[in-house]
Chain A
Amino acid sequence: MIDIIIGFLATIGVMFIFLAAVGFIRMPDTYLRMCVTTKASTLGSGLILLSAAVFFGENGVISRVIAIILFLFLTVPVGAHLIARVSYFIGVQLWKGTIMDELKGKYDKQSHELHSERELKK
């Protein structure tokens, strides 16, 4: 019974990671790739770690796994935000099917400050 639970969790986790890899190959521009991959892979590795916790079933392992999952969920969005910001700075082109870009012209090229709309109107 417990083997079935472990196999189920691990299979779903591996599917998410595989999906992230395929999306990483197929998507047309950097931002779309970032959108698809970062979170799917986080969820996938979280599920795999959870299956390891179910397999061992000791207190030490479970608390360690919960710590790792919390750490992943805290740091991965921060990393994605940093990379997205930097790739906007260094001029990575948006895909040609993009329908709106409200960030255009809001960055100050010299001081790297970001203005909101209210400040622009003044």
Chain B
Amino acid sequence: MKSSIFLNNVLLMLMWVILTGDSTFANFTFGFLLSFVILRIITVNREDTKYFRLVPRVIAFILFFIYELVLANLQAAYFVIVSHKNLKPGIVGVPLDAKSDIEITFLTNLVSLTPGTLSIDVSNDRKVLYVYSMHIKDRDQFVKNIKNGFEKRILNITR
């Protein structure tokens, strides 16, 4: 049901672009947002409204990810330029709540993309993700950060 609303959204966006005859990137975005609002207004079925909560969450997730990326890059820059003598690296096993393939793939990719952490491997029964981190102040705090930050948001989107 979710995907059919998404298809309707894309179709309406293409309609808008063809009718206005202006195929720039800004016009595509505007058409998408316009058809999103129109679909939100005309949908009355209770089950279908899940899609409309999904899109703002995806946008919020992308913004959060960019913020995290820049912050972590600056931290890595500090360690590279100043000194690496007081680093405390280590490998931590983080228990996983994500079950399906796509959730685990997203989680490991995002953990790898933020500098300072690197996902090494997932255990064969998919219960533990082993993360290498550049700087661990407190093990429990570190595990909690990953679980509450990335994993919770990914599960919010996919479930």
Q: Which residues of A contact B (CB under 8 A)?
A: 16, 19, 22-23, 26-28, 31-32, 34-36, 38-40, 42-43, 59, 62, 73-74, 76-78, 80-81, 84-85, 88, 94-95, 97-103, 106, 113-119
Q: With the chains together, A2 CA to B54 CA distance in Å?
A: 35
Residue of A40, A97, A98, A116 near B73 (CB, 8 A) is A40
Q: With the chains together, A38 CA to B115 CA distance in Å?
A: 8
State the interface size on chain B (CB cutoff 8 A).
43
Q: With the chains together, A43 CA to B81 CA distance in Å?
A: 18
Contact B127 A36 (CB under 8 A): no
Q: Does chain A have a CB within 8 A of B134?
A: yes
Residues of the B chain whose Cβ atoms lie less than 8 Å from the Cβ of A100: 90-92, 136, 139
Q: With the chains together, A26 CA to B80 CA distance in Å?
A: 7
Contact B132 A39 (CB under 8 A): no
Residues of the A chain whose Cβ atoms lie less than 8 Å from the Cβ of B77: 19, 40
Q: With the chains together, A119 CA to B47 CA distance in Å?
A: 40
- Sample of 20 further A-B pairs with CB below 8 A, known A36-B76, A98-B90: A19-B80, A23-B80, A32-B134, A34-B118, A35-B118, A36-B80, A43-B69, A59-B23, A77-B112, A80-B118, A81-B112, A84-B121, A97-B87, A100-B91, A102-B91, A102-B93, A103-B130, A106-B123, A114-B121, A116-B128
Residue of B25, B84, B92, B134 near A26 (CB, 8 A) is B84
Residue of B25, B89, B112, B123 near A32 (CB, 8 A) is B89
Contact A59 B24 (CB under 8 A): yes
Measured CB to CB, the closest approach of chain B to A108, in angstroms, equals 9
Contact A114 B118 (CB under 8 A): no
Contact A118 B121 (CB under 8 A): no
- With A36-B76, A102-B130: A85-B90 Cβ-Cβ less than 8 Å: no
Residues of the B chain whose Cβ atoms lie less than 8 Å from the Cβ of A103: 91, 93, 120-121, 130
